[in-house]
Amino acid sequence: MILYRPVGTAELELIKQNNYRSFPPRLTEQPIFYHVLNHEYACEIAEKWNTKTSDCKGYVTEFEVDDEYIKNFEVYTVSRKHHQEFCISAEELENFNRHIIGIIKVTDKFSENKIITVSTGHGEIVCHSKIEVKKIILNNSTDDIWISIKKDYPCLAILINGKYACIHYVESENGNVFQSVGNVDKEITFIAGSKEWTAPKESVITIEKAVKCMEIFCDTTKRPNCIE
């Protein structure tokens, strides 16, 4: 089973020291080891709680645990339907670590101070996390979205038509413009501003890949690897 655990910088450093193979022992005041069943819930915790530490950073880790072992534990649902988690006692953690398959991966990073400006045909929206931006992308079926971090450039322009997208990375006002490299074998017509534009099939990507490009851009402000 694939599971997730939101962590702060201190715990992540200890995971690194263990070569990403195990989680560190709990402190005396931490009798329970929590991990959750879905990525969205883990991101919510990392963004809202782990970023409240001294360095204002939170991370989401992903790992796999042996199915036969984990089925011995009860799943708890907290508040919302997708807020599902396992609660492992501190004494059981060492045994739990033995049942981790492969390495612990870091999938997401959050910072409390990040301001992401998203411009759409309906106006400008100020976001504070990639999750908020992702929701805007997935809720826009035919729109062009411009994303920037703190300043106008560099920026990411995402054209959307249903489950397809085309992305442009703009370095500066008068700088280079780079276009997405397609993984969809068809031409798609998008609305850019108020005009129709048909993108060549070699630049059309899925909306899922567009979201991943956005996440890379929000983390680094650099050109994502889906764009050349």
Q: What is the DSSP string of 87-107?
A: EEEGGGHHHHHHTEEEEEEEE
What are the helix (H) ranges across 18-92? 39-48, 67-70
Give the tens place of pLDDT for each residue, 5-24.
Answer: 999 999 999 999 999 999 99
**Cβ-contact 128, 116 below 8 angstroms:** yes
pLDDT in tens, the chain (228 residues): 999 999 999 999 999 999 999 999 999 899 999 999 999 999 999 988 888 776 778 999 999 999 999 999 999 998 788 899 999 999 999 999 999 999 999 999 887 666 889 998 888 998 877 888 999 999 887 778 999 987 788 999 999 999 999 999 999 888 889 999 987 888 999 988 788 999 999 999 999 999 999 988 988 888 988 887
Q: What angle do CA 105, 107, 111 make, to 5 degrees?
A: 125
Identify the three-state secondary structure at position 41: helix
Model pTM greater than 0.85? Answer: no
Strands, E, within the chain: which ranges?
A: 2-7, 32-36, 57-65, 76-77, 84-89, 100-111, 116-120, 123-127, 142-149, 155-161, 164-170, 177-179, 188-192, 195-199, 205-206
String of b and e for 73-111 (b: at least 16 CB within 10 Å)?
eeeeeeeeeebebbebeeeebeebbeebeeebeeebbbe
Number of helices and strands in the chain (H, E): 6, 15
Say how far apart CA 160 and CA 197 lie, in whole Å. Answer: 11
Q: What angle do CA 106, 39, 107 make, to 5 degrees?
A: 15
Nearest to 94 by CA among 24, 4, 16: 24
